[in-house]
Amino acid sequence: MKFDDLLELGDIVDIRYPAKGFIVIKPYGMLAIKNLYRLFERELEIDGHEPVHFPAVIPERNLRLEEEHFKGFEGEVFWITRAGLNELEERYVLRPTSETAIYPMYALWIKSYRDLPVKYYLSGTVWRYETKSTRPLIRGREFLWIETHDAFRNESEARSQISRDLEISKRVIRDRLKLDFIMVKRPSWDRFAGAVDTYAVDTLLPDGKVLQIATTHYLGENFARVFNVKYMDDTETERYVHQTCFGIGINRILAATIYNHADETGLRLPSSIAPYQAVIVPIHPVSDMYVDRVTEIYSKYRLKVDRREGITPGNKFYYWDKRGVPIKIIVGKREEENSTITISTRSGIKETIPLGEDLDKYFEYYDDNIKQTLKIYDAKDLEDLKKILDAGGIARAPFCSVEKEGEECYRVIKERFKAEIRGVRIDVDEKPEGKCIVSGRKAEYVVYIAKQY
């Protein structure tokens, strides 16, 4: 089913808000988003992160401090130039990302090696003035995300955080949301503005374009130097901290989850974020007492009892199927008389089981059933590449270089195929064979190529 239809059908968002690139997220979508936030926040906290709040406005002066960073964002920030009747002496920007809001405070807070590491996360909203065409949840001018900002004593501690960030992605995105993805190190020409290295989690949408859903950056000392984030080490030497930051695109992850798992009927939400994991559908005649008992017994799940009158059970089943509810619990006279319930999963299983029997296995079965697998194919030459891209897949190909020397080959891919070099896989070890798919020079890397959002 088409993405926009799914959003409409599932009552996820309302795109009629009268400002381009801004949308309203309705309760059913917001409940899923809150569950999504909790999944990530829990993992981040287990990893030692603490929550923090920072203002949405950043003074212009701060944003300008890191030159490369400023250049990267200058064209897409919203400026606040007036307040009330006054022209502001110093303009603000609405944060497009929070490095330049947070690090001046880190400079005040971090004094000693004993203060490190600092690992904070911020769950919130950022604003970017997107000039490309916007799409609900996928590319908006306002979006919800989580960003972590970590400071360490040295490079090796910082770099080991990157693998922990990526493990968190695996645990949530793959294990809980059942989305498949690749983790790549971005080519040098595609780094986050101001970063030393950028790593990303890319998934593929059914329309054949990849979507970046999370990124983690190694910032080195770049920001520490301009924001003066220093500490005294145990030999009484002043040093700059080494920093990482990790951005988790909540809107985009929701979009990918909805779009990838949907079928012709409608949504199929993973049980980990479904607003209602199971809907109880009472069928007349059944006593309220029995329905209440069922609700009580299964209260460890997020439940909804559909007591609407004047609607046939079949219509209720269809209604909740469209909205992606994993399991329906049917209770009627037959169940009440035998102390049973009837389980009907979104994937088609229907079974009557004794009241009280655990439902976990049904959720597991359902979740496994919706699991996504990426379409990745090997491209030996440019003809292969074209076929793969046209078929809506991701191509794996030998490539000369992901540093500056490879940029010319990248231009060819970009111009001729409108595709991007997503980068070099870091979650699997790969050795290149043969020659660069574009230049024919010796291939030093295996890269992934796809059209992107």
Partner RNA sequence: GGGGAUGUGGGGUAACCUGGUUAGCCUGCGGGCUUUGGGAGCCCGAGAUCCCGGUUCAAAUCCGGGCAUCCCCA
Q: Do 32 and 275 contact (CB within 8 A), yes or no? A: yes
Cβ proximity to RNA, 311 vs 412, nearer residue: 311
Minimum distance of RNA from residue 158's CB (angstroms): 37
Minimum distance of RNA from residue 322's CB (angstroms): 7
- Helix or strand holding residue 350 (H, E): strand 350-354
Closest by CA to 427, choosing from 202, 123, 107, is 202
Minimum distance of RNA from residue 6's CB (angstroms): 11
Minimum distance of RNA from residue 235's CB (angstroms): 54
Residue 131: CB atoms within 10 Å: 10
d(C-alpha 42, C-alpha 45), whole Å: 5
d(C-alpha 346, C-alpha 339), whole Å: 23
What token pair was written down for 344? 């009907």
C-alpha of 32 from chain center: 13
d(C-alpha 397, C-alpha 298), whole Å: 50
Q: Which residues pair with 4 in a beta bridge?
A: none
Cβ proximity to RNA, 4 vs 403, nearer residue: 4
Minimum distance of RNA from residue 350's CB (angstroms): 6
Q: Which residues pair with 327 in a beta bridge?
A: 278, 345
Minimum distance of RNA from residue 195's CB (angstroms): 26
- φ/ψ (deg, to 5) at 278: -145, 140
Cβ proximity to RNA, 309 vs 429, nearer residue: 309
Cβ proximity to RNA, 68 vs 263, nearer residue: 263
Minimum distance of RNA from residue 320's CB (angstroms): 8
Cβ proximity to RNA, 321 vs 367, nearer residue: 321
Cβ proximity to RNA, 103 vs 417, nearer residue: 417
Cβ proximity to RNA, 143 vs 227, nearer residue: 143
d(C-alpha 335, C-alpha 295), whole Å: 14
d(C-alpha 449, C-alpha 406), whole Å: 14
Cβ proximity to RNA, 232 vs 283, nearer residue: 283
Cβ proximity to RNA, 310 vs 354, nearer residue: 310
Minimum distance of RNA from residue 33's CB (angstroms): 21
The DSSP-derived string for 133-194 is PPBTTTB-SEEEEEEEEEEESSHHHHHHHHHHHHHHHIIIIIIIT----EEEEPPGGG--TT
Three-state secondary-structure class, residue 316: helix
Minimum distance of RNA from residue 16's CB (angstroms): 6
What token pair was written down for 308? 């609407």
Minimum distance of RNA from residue 385's CB (angstroms): 16
Closest by CA to 117, choosing from 163, 154, 162, is 154
CB half-sphere exposure, 316, CA atoms < 13 A: 21
d(C-alpha 251, C-alpha 153), whole Å: 33
Cβ proximity to RNA, 23 vs 179, nearer residue: 23
Q: Which residues bind RNA (CB under 7 A)?
A: 8, 16, 20, 133-135, 283-284, 286, 309-315, 317-318, 321, 328, 330, 332-335, 342, 344, 350, 352, 418
